[in-house]
Amino acid sequence: MARVETMGVVVSVERTHETLTILVYDGCGRIPCTLFLQTTARTRSCCFEDNRRFPERCLTGCASKTVTEYNPNYQLHHQPPPTDFVIAIPRPPPPQLISSRNLLSPSSLTTTPGLSKRSFTYEELAISTNNFSMNNVLGEGGFSLVYKGTLTNGREVAIKRLKDTHRQPDLEFMKEVDILSLVHHRHLVSLIGFYVSELICLLVCEYVPNKTLEFHLHGRNGSTLAWRHRFRISLDSAKGLEYLHEDCNPRVIHRDIKSANILLDHQFRAKIADFGIAKHVSDETTHISTVVKGTYGYLAPEYASTGKLTDKSDVYSYGVLLVELITGRKPLGLADWARPLLQKAMEDAIYDALIDPFLDNDYDPVEAGRMVACAAACLCHAAALRPSMSQICRALEGCISFGDQKSVQSPPGSSSANTLFQSVLTP
């Protein structure tokens, strides 16, 4: 087997009598494939498939490195080398980094004061993921893979990589970098850094070690998520959304709130992840007309039918998430199934028909009542009647409660969202 030295990251080397196949990830993301060994009794050289030629220097003993200059017309004449030899592949020209300022708004990649986002090299991230080994894959989306990586300082990270490497970085990826650069909250996944070149897009985020809420609710792990964790997750997620909707400048609509995008640590504290389709919204904007994106089962009805996006679209999705936590059921068709049961549970203050049967009635009825009431309000057909996320947070904490329960099902225009709640404790 030949030894290969390169400024890129060597993945594998295979040698036959006539060819030497070297799989290398270089800084530009291109992959040199096969070098053809052209051998006669007196001449031996090698070239890439595109006929760029590189001389081969033969070493004996334990020599560790050969540096060979690129010369397209050069051939080295010598006797056939021993089996063990070294080929040095020169570093390709450095990739031209693409600034998202050229693709997005002038405020792109503006970082929150006090926070710094590091720009990584491709080699660093390839090494941290064992050359993007499938054994390091944490999850897969429609357009990306997420890998677990370990940086040179020992820090574990999650690295998101777009699948399509044959096109320019798309606006959604750059928008995710932009939004994550601006937000900072304990219940949102934090951005650590990124790498963007002509063909490669990599996003480096904090690693949250205990998988997703979807895994713990619906996965085949043989255990049941305890009620205390479910209630804590509902409040953590609500606080993350409250920050996005009300405290960010500009405000952010996530657009894809679902159990698969709620990450958990070992204490089952929640962080909202995946801002790939999130949208900025100004205080003056009543709604955004956009292409409908998200996950079926979580989409607000007015958004799915008209494409008009507001923060109340996220509130609806959060309501579906609450019902998932309460019942343990999967989201498709869950909202329509749950509405009458939520209303009856609120009227009777009996929640056993809704609670996940795998909990064996091991739940707190006070906390269950708060979650049921919030879920019913969030799933209101009329967006204007849904509460804000700050109201949801206060309701889950027991600071406010429902006033007129029947207004949850009132027709549009009959009530304001504020009438769904009334103060029962001093804020």
Q: Which residues are annotated as a binding site for ATP?
A: 160
- Is-catalytic flag, 265? no
- For tokens 């940086």, name the residue: 151
Gap between the Cα atoms of 348 and 361, Å rounded: 17
Q: Closest Cα to residue 236, out of 314, 327, 318?
A: 318
In this structure, what is the dihedral angle of CA atoms 170, 174, 175, 177, given to the nearest 10 degrees? Answer: 150
Contact (Cβ atoms closer than 8 angstroms) between residue 179 and residue 190: no
Pick the catalytic residue: 26, 178, 236, 256? 256
In this structure, what is the dihedral angle of CA atoms 212, 215, 221, 224, given to the nearest 10 degrees? Answer: 90
Sort strands 288-289 and 308-309 into parallel, antiparallel or unpaired: antiparallel
Gap between the Cα atoms of 53 and 58, Å rounded: 16
SS3 state at 254: coil
Q: Which residues are annotated as a binding site?
A: 160
**What DSSP string describes 6-29?**
ESSEEEEEEE-SSEEEEEEE-TTS
Instruction: Give the N- to C-terminal CA distance of the chain in Å, as an integer.
Output: 73
Q: Closest Cα to residue 298, out of 281, 319, 312, 277?
A: 319
Show which residues are catalytic.
256
